[in-house]
Amino acid sequence: MIMPIRQFQAQRMQAPRNFQPVENTPVCVEIGAGKGKHALLFSGQHPELKLIAVERTREKFVAMQKQHGLEGQQNLTPVHADALPWVVHALYPAQVQQLFILYPNPEPHNPAQRWLNMPFFEFLLSRLQVNGTVTLASNIPEYIEEAEQQLKEVWKLPYEKQIIASDSARTHFEIKYLERGELCQQLVICKPESYSTRFDSFQPLNGQNAEPADVQ
């Protein structure tokens, strides 16, 4: 089933608590970074790239922050925030080189909240550089199949479907799923030069619409 996509209301997004602006320089971004296993690996393997790792759950963020303090990668910035308002307030058009969404919540009871079914995905694409990539990984075949269908019918984007090697260990979830013998797959989605969105000129809100200080 093709999910209809309404327009994302970016201007209504309130700033995350303790929001810190981001410089308008090329970055990689991981959404839902968890305890930071992939973020730490990636930043260690690619010292020439800057990675911002966003995690909403405080417990997981603290674990990532602690491990980052031990390893000390200068090119990694952990961020504790909900990804949607953070992206709207922080990122510039065509700023992101690579975007990682690894083993997101499959939202079995709310398909509209899956990443490629969300209006927000159009905004996310506007932040991606030409020839930039989105890597979406899952251990659920139906999730990957639906995402493929959305890419073909709604977003009209080129992509490569890959089977993840059985010895891959990018995230704690990935290790667990592969040890169980589950099929893990990823879509590497590319933004072509001719691609456009309705948000290509939308500048980051940079802390406008900030929440009151006493709001949790």
pLDDT at 19: 94
> Around 30, how many Cα atoms within 13 Å sit in the side-chain half-sphere?
30
3-state secondary structure of 13: coil
Cα angle 183, 177, 97 (rounded to 5 degrees) comes to 80
pLDDT in tens, 179-214: 999 999 999 999 999 999 999 999 999 988 655 443
3-state secondary structure string across 152-209 = HHHHCCCEEEEECCCCCCCCHHHHHHHHCCCCCEEEEEECCCCCCCCCCCCCCCCCCC
> Which amino acid is present at 193?
E
Which CATH superfamily does the domain covering 26-190 fall into? Vaccinia Virus protein VP39 (3.40.50.150)
Q: Which of 101, 75, 79, 98 is nearest to 90 (CA)?
A: 79
pLDDT in tens, 9-23: 999 999 998 999 999
